[in-house]
Chains A and B, each alone.
Chain A
Amino acid sequence: MTTPHQPDPLSPLEQRLAHLAPSAALDGDAILFAAGRAAGRRDTARWRLATGLLVACLAVSLALHTLPADQSTSAPHTTYVVDQAPPSLTTPRITFTRHTVDPTHHASGQHSYQRVRQRVLATGLDALSATTPDTDNPADFNESSATLYQQRNRWFQGDRS
């Protein structure tokens, strides 16, 4: 009697059946070729992953190096600026007296011209010698006009040196 764990030898029928060779359309060469290709594909997957990582690192590195300096980093950096020359100490300082301007006193330059014109028309060219700048108006009095005025007065007074 056979038992599950100690089976008897095969009976003649079982031996006869076991001698029949199963038919199979297996191509051993094709299976080995496919197995080799699968094994090769498995190895290349690792290399592809490593290559991809390296390419990604290289791309990030190139991108960081090609960006402008002010965009690539926020670290403090030195900037060289041409200093402006200090104001000359020899420049004459012109000071004006503080005064109140009449709002109706518009176009001071035009007003002085009109006054001189009226004097010339009334008294002739001698009125020019008596013309004095309007020292109350800063627009009528500056350094050059004051110098010209003094030189003109000295000329009329006979000092023609």
Chain B
Amino acid sequence: MTETQHQDAQDASPHNLRALVDRLGPALVLYARQLCDCPEDIVQDALMKLAKQTPWPDNPPAWLYRVVRNGAISANRSRQRRRRHEQTVAQMRQSWFVSDNGTAHDAALATDALAAMPADQREVVVARLWGQLTYQQIADLTGSSVSAVHRRYHHAIEHLRERLGES
């Protein structure tokens, strides 16, 4: 267990919950955005479920990602038919990252590159880069093997490198 995970494995309290919201909230929303069109609602529901847990799970970040993934998939199933077209258009117009003066260009490029990526690769990249999950945790989250997750991640990085023109 890493130091971060050890810090997260604490009792439920407003202070700890607020720290989790500040530290994991944006990454969870980005992760949920890859699976559904209502990421904020899904993440808020997951945080509510975590607050009701007594005691908290051993690894709250991994637990949260799993709950967010299940909730996003369920929500996407129910809304998929009527919002299939709107989802793609809306996500392409909205930047997935905070864009200030120095990172506006990178944020737009990264959003476009991620949106053009296969969903399974995109999910792994988001969980690894912004969720800071290990390959093992991503494998547990997606129900895949560790080697498959590793292979998927490197394919995604190669895809991003081609799209962003990095050597």
Contacts and interface: CB of A to CB of B under 8 A. Distances in A.
A82 B101 CA distance: 109
B135 interface: yes
B32 to A, nearest CB: 9
Contacts of A32: 14, 17-18, 21
A26 B40 contact: yes
Q: Interface size for chain B: under 10, 10 to 19, 20 to 34, or 35 or more residues?
A: 35 or more
12 contacts: A4-B149, A11-B157, A18-B130, A21-B98, A22-B29, A22-B97, A23-B97, A23-B99, A24-B28, A24-B40, A34-B48, A35-B17
B65 interface: no
Contacts of A158: none
Nearest to A30: B44
B47 interface: yes
Interface in A1-46: 2-5, 7, 10-14, 16-26, 28, 30-32, 34-36, 38-39, 42
B144 to A, nearest CB: 11
Contact of A23 (B98, B147, B166): B98
B20 to A, nearest CB: 10
B51 interface: yes
Contact of A13 (B28, B40, B43, B161): B161
Given A20-B130, A22-B30, 12 more contacts: A4-B149, A17-B160, A19-B103, A22-B29, A23-B26, A23-B95, A24-B30, A25-B29, A31-B47, A34-B44, A38-B48, A42-B52
Nearest to B106: A20
Interface of B: 14, 17-18, 21-22, 25-30, 39-40, 43-44, 47-48, 51-52, 95-99, 103, 106-107, 110, 129-130, 135-136, 146-147, 149-150, 154, 157, 160-161, 164, 166
A7 B135 contact: yes
Chain A contact-residue range equals 20 to 34
B96 A22 contact: yes
Contacts of A7: 135, 150
A18 B129 contact: yes
A42 B149 CA distance: 39
A17 B132 CA distance: 12
Nearest to B130: A22
A7 to B, nearest CB: 7
B129 A14 contact: yes
Contacts of B28: 24
Nearest to B114: A17
B150 A17 contact: no
Given A4-B150, A35-B51, A39-B52, A28 B22 contact: yes
Interface centre among A14, A16, A26, A28 (most CB of B within 10 A): A26
Contacts of A16: 106
A13 B129 CA distance: 11
B86 to A, nearest CB: 18
A12 B165 CA distance: 13
A13 B157 contact: yes
